[in-house]
């Protein structure tokens, strides 16, 4: 924010601050539900904000800050990493039985669960804010290059947020408008149509965004960040050839991305394999994940890694040694995620929350090659991940064995990162097989319920997901 602010003359600073405050209030605090969003009476969001590229860019930056602090990808207690980590088999919950997280851990989430409401409302508020930027920029007098950057980023945010909502809730409304009446009666779309909308948004974002990052810190997406997310989407859609081509394009851009040989460097803010990350909320701050997951005494105050996850690591797997920590006392031993090492502020900040990283593209490519029958190529990229972790080449021989080996590497590579584990089990049809032993697990838990408050506001969201 300092960089933007310093570029503005003293004469305009007062107006800038007032406008930016209005944008921030508009994007988050003007509503309790995306169904209730209306344009503020001042109309600042459609006039003053988009008279200046600096204020419009600040409005887009504010969307990222809300995603970091309260969105599905937040590293706080209320994000996917924490909640869906408990919902699957990654984390064991030690907090109060009355906590909404306890319901995720026991797979007993009700439509009235407060965290569920946060998932839905915060996500759609951020989609609405992205749509506001997209539409505001369209009517502005900015250069075509300036418009392309902000509109490409807005489409990327819209696609990513809808992608996560789809994984959680299944059929959902796909919101492209800021029209209150239209949004208040939005209907849920079939999964296939949602995926098509996501792909459409990402392809357009890829066209609009440059190969170059806007800053060395990689906190705003470039065209290759879009490709990275698109490769994941294609994998989930079962479009193996598109997943293969898209992931390979990211991997082959070695001028931007190189796999870190040292696992200890992967989650540093200047990692060479980071594709997109969130900057912390203040100077010297590090990640919310570090402050939430790391504990120093047992039993843990909130959560620990599950014994099944820890037992999945072989003794020579460097990820166990470098990416997990432990606390031992006479009562027992507990493990915590230690990908991010800093639980407190440092000078300067050392770690940013990584949204997309190169390793995922290797495993997408390996799985896509396997499903296409190119087994040698599949094992090449699978073994690159294994070898980096200190493991020998995989003994998998046929397609099914290679795919299972890829999924096992994904489990150990992406634990407590944005729900990867649950979503992998879901898309491969293994949820009941793996989570069936959890108390409270039912096959209907593959989807979360639509928040009760939302169905009460908009009956077009009915019927409720099965089992709720």
Domain boundaries, the chain: 1-207+431-468, 210-428
Tokens of 166: 């789809």
Q: For position 439, what pLDDT does the model report? A: 87
pTM beyond 0.85: the answer is yes
354-373 in b/e form (b: 16+ CB < 10 A) is bbbbbbbbbbbbbbbbbbee
What gap in Å lies between CA 164 and CA 305, rounded to an integer?
A: 23
Alpha helices in 372-414 (DSSP H): 375-388, 399-413
271-330 residue pLDDT tens: 999 999 999 999 999 999 999 999 999 999 999 999 999 999 999 999 999 999 999 999
Q: What's domain 1-207+431-468's architecture?
A: Alpha Horseshoe (1.25)
373-412 residue pLDDT tens: 999 999 999 999 999 999 999 999 999 999 999 999 999 9
CATH class label, 210-428:
mainly alpha
Among 152, 141, 251, CA closest to 206: 152
102-116 in b/e form (b: 16+ CB < 10 A) is bbbbbbebebebebb
What gap in Å lies between CA 288 and CA 397, rounded to an integer?
A: 41
224 with 358: CB under 8 angstroms? no
What gap in Å lies between CA 15 and CA 256, rounded to an integer?
A: 38
Q: For position 386, what pLDDT does the model report? A: 98
Across the 468 residues of the chain, what is the mean pLDDT of every consecutive 10-residue run? 39 42 44 40 59 95 97 98 98 97 98 97 97 95 97 98 98 95 94 98 98 97 99 98 98 98 97 98 97 97 98 98 98 98 97 98 98 98 98 98 98 98 98 95 98 97 97
């Amino acid at each position: 924010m300092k960089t933007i602010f310093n570029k503005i003359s003293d004469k305009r600073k007062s107006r800038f601050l007032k406008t930016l405050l209005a944008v921030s209030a508009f994007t988050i605090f003007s509503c309790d539900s995306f169904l209730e969003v209306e344009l503020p009476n001042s109309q600042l969001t459609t006039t003053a904000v988009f008279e200046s590229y600096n204020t419009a860019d600040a409005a887009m930056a504010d969307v990222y800050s809300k995603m970091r602090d309260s969105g599905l990808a937040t590293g706080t207690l209320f994000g996917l990493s924490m909640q869906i980590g408990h919902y699957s088999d990654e984390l064991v919950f030690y907090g109060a039985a009355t906590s909404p997280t306890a319901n995720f851990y026991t797979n007993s989430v009700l439509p009235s669960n407060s965290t569920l409401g946060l998932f839905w409302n915060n996500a759609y508020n951020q989609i609405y804010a992205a749509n506001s930027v997209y539409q505001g920029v369209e009517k502005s007098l900015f250069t075509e290059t300036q418009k392309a950057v902000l509109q490409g980023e807005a489409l990327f945010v819209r696609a990513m947020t809808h992608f996560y909502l789809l994984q959680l809730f299944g059929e959902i409304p796909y919101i492209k408008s800021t029209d209150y009446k239209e949004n208040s009666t939005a209907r849920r779309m079939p999964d296939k149509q949602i995926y098509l909308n996501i792909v459409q948004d990402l392809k357009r974002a890829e066209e609009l965004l440059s190969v170059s990052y806007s800053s060395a810190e990689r906190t705003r997406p470039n065209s290759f960040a879009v490709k990275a997310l698109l490769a994941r989407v294609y994998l989930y859609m079962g479009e193996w050839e598109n997943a293969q081509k898209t992931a390979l394009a990211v991997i082959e851009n070695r001028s931007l991305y190189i796999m870190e040989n040292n696992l200890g460097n992967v989650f540093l803010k200047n990692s060479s394999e980071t594709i997109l990350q969130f900057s912390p909320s203040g100077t010297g701050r590090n990640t919310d994940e570090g402050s939430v997951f790391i504990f120093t005494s047992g039993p843990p105050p909130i959560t620990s890694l599950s014994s099944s996850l820890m037992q999945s690591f072989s003794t020579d797997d460097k990820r166990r040694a470098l990416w997990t920590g432990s606390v031992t006392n006479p009562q027992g031993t507990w493990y915590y995620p230690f990908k991010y090492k800093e639980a407190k502020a440092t000078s300067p900040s050392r770690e940013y929350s990584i949204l997309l990283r190169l390793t995922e593209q290797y495993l997408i490519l390996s799985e896509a090659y396997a499903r296409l029958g190119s087994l040698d190529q599949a094992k090449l990229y699978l073994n690159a991940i294994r070898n980096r972790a200190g493991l020998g080449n995989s003994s998998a021989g046929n397609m099914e064995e290679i795919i299972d080996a890829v999924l096992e590497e994904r489990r150990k590579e992406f634990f407590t990162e944005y729900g990867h584990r649950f979503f992998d089990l879901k898309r491969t049809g293994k949820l009941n097989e793996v989570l069936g032993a959890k108390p409270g697990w039912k096959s209907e838990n593959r989807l979360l319920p639509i928040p009760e408050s939302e169905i009460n506001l908009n009956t077009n969201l009915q019927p409720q997901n099965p089992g709720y």
